[in-house]
Chains A and B, each alone.
Chain A
Amino acid sequence: GQQLNQSPQSMFIQEGEDVSMNCTSSSIFNTWLWYKQDPGEGPVLLIALYKAGELTSNGRLTAQFGITRKDSFLNISASIPSDVGIYFCAGPISSGSARQLTFGSGTQLTVLP
């Protein structure tokens, strides 16, 4: 099935540093989604990308939809303590009657003071 490979698995950075994480797939996706999950909470959608080459920002977050439609990256600039959490990439797949989301395994971000 379609799988998303997300890297790195974890990151430890100093407050104020920029962060970059990415997601790749062997299959083409028409949409890329980036979610953040805080401890004890469900994932929250950060950015949605719908077009190859698209670059979208949401505050300090910037995400790009790769030209090949097989990859995407998420950048966080000037990290702050509240950026701590798990970041997931996701993309829709069709299975049976449903449009499901398949998720990467996540990037655990720790921001050190």
Chain B
Amino acid sequence: GAGVSQSPSNKVTEKGKDVELRCDPISGHTALYWYRQSLGQGLEFLIYFQGNSAPDKSGLPSDRFSAERTGGSVSTLTIQRTQQEDSAVYLCASSFVSGHETQYFGPGTRLLVL
């Protein structure tokens, strides 16, 4: 595809349920980032994948959050036992190398936890 795609675009879930958010980066991009954007706020870094290296999970807010990147391409962000404060837009970005100025963002997944 031409850009970063994310699915679903919107997700409504009940408190306590698990959710999976998907990111398809731009083909050939080796670096992939997940960010969280709460209402009226900037972007909060969550996790970073670079090639086959171990991911940098330093931004994950709790152990309920995890992410995988299969085959160096598609990534899945999983939130277990969702809480209302998890409601936010989850944005994925990819870049050809670990270069901040070349990060391309997807449209995001809007998560609402009731």
On whether A98 and B105 interact (CB within 8 A), knowing A42-B93, A103-B42, A105-B40, the answer reads no
Confirm or deny: B62 has a beta carbon within 8 angstroms of a beta carbon on chain A. Answer: no
Confirm or deny: A65 has a beta carbon within 8 angstroms of a beta carbon on chain B. Answer: no
* CA distance in complex: A97, B47 (Å): 11
Interface code A29-61, partner B: CB below 8 Å = 1, 0 otherwise? Answer: 001010000001111110010000000000000
| Beta-carbon contact of B45 and A102 below 8 Å | yes
Confirm or deny: B106 has a beta carbon within 8 angstroms of a beta carbon on chain A. Answer: yes
On whether A42 and B105 interact (CB within 8 A), knowing A33-B100, A99-B98, the answer reads yes
- 29 example contacts (A-B, Cβ-Cβ < 8 A) are as follows A31-B100, A31-B101, A42-B4, A42-B93, A43-B43, A45-B101, A45-B103, A88-B42, A88-B43, A90-B100, A92-B100, A96-B56, A97-B53, A98-B45, A98-B50, A98-B98, A99-B98, A99-B100, A100-B45, A100-B59, A102-B42, A102-B45, A103-B43, A103-B44, A104-B42, A105-B40, A105-B42, A106-B40, A106-B41
